[in-house]
Amino acid sequence: MTDLEQTPAATLAARYGLPKLGGRPGVGGYLAQLWDRRHFTLALARSRFRAQNEEYQLGILWVLLLPLINIGVYWLVFGLLVKSRSSTRPDHFLSFLTVGIFTFGFFTGCFVEGAKSIAKNRGLVRTLHFPRAVLPLSVVIQQLMTLGAQLVVMFLVIVVSGEPITYRWLLIIPVYLMMTLFCSGVAFVAARLTVHIRDITQIIPFVNRLLFYTSGIFFVVAERYGKTGPDASTLGKILSQVLTANPLNVYLTLARDALLSQDRHMRGVHATALQWQLGVVYGVVVFVVGFYFFWRAEGLYGRD
């Protein structure tokens, strides 16, 4: 028996540079693969953007109509019918609500669809070799395309509601860039978790709904939960701080700070320096952690 026959297969594979089938490349190599597949990622996002709602007669128009209907319903309920605790409802409620609905809708799309990005494309994962991070990233890009189309409507509603167009509107660009990083990290985490634990898909709608009603879409979080005097309980103070520092409330506040008028002293639209810093930290940290968490399981996707 020769020395070659006695050498373990793993040692031989390493000696001659044979990669493990379905193995996980290093982070640098993985990022290089993602860059090489950038055109595929964009094509996948564009095709899904065009295909959404295509079975309906109005087709792509539903991308614009659905958030408008949401705004109308919530403005009717929370702006006209519900009068309780109206002190926490900000001035110029329509523009405040509009920014909240459109901005949170971007997160919802990335979170919910990102969680299903691997499971819905199991056939693609099993038959083609490509970095699996392409799938959650294509979802985020698709949601960015949707948001881009919706921004036109959002700007129109804001202007019609009486808000002036100012140079501060340009601040919405870095706000949504930070939020895109954050949503990408969330999509990475959700995509991996739902592959390993399918039951999570049943919980995600409830988590999303909880975030929807606690992130300050309809009210100013700091005013509703901001009781910090001697009568405030320790639990109440903690709740106020947690909800105010909630990443989604931070991004909503930053978006409103960019788009809504600064000379009317509107409550709940002025972002602090700390909130801008938190926006950057949330975006970078969640993206890096989410990407690393997803990459660690690269060799496992499609094996079930």
Domain assignment of residue 238, yes or no: yes
| Whole-number Å distance between alpha carbons of 110 and 113 | 6
Asked which of 19-33, 38-52, 128-142, 171-185 is least confident by mean pLDDT, the reply is 19-33
Torsion of CA 107, 72, 145, 57, to 10 degrees: 130
- Count the residues in the chain: 304
Domain assignment of residue 263, yes or no: yes
| Whole-number Å distance between alpha carbons of 57 and 138 | 26
Q: How many distinct structural domains can be found in the chain?
A: 1
Domain assignment of residue 13, yes or no: no
Domain assignment of residue 17, yes or no: no
Encoded amino acid at 71, one letter: I
pLDDT in the model for residue 229:
52
Domain limits for position 30? 23-300
pLDDT at 3 over 60: no
What is the mean pLDDT of the segment spanning 153-176? 90
Label residue 48 exposed, middle or buried (CB < 10 Å: 0-12, 13-18, 19+). middle
Domain assignment of residue 11, yes or no: no
Can you give the pTM of this predicted structure? 0.84
More confident residue, 19 or 203: 203
Please report, for residues 51, 55, 157, 208, the alpha-carbon distance to residue 100 in angstroms, rounded to integers and kept in the order given. Answer: 26, 28, 12, 14
Confidence of residue 247 (pLDDT cuts 50, 70, 90): very high
DSSP 116-165: TTTGGGHHHHHH--S-TTHHHHHHHHHHHHHHHHHHHHHHHHHHHTTPPP
252 contacts 98 by C-beta, under 8 angstroms:
no
302 contacts 134 by C-beta, under 8 angstroms:
no
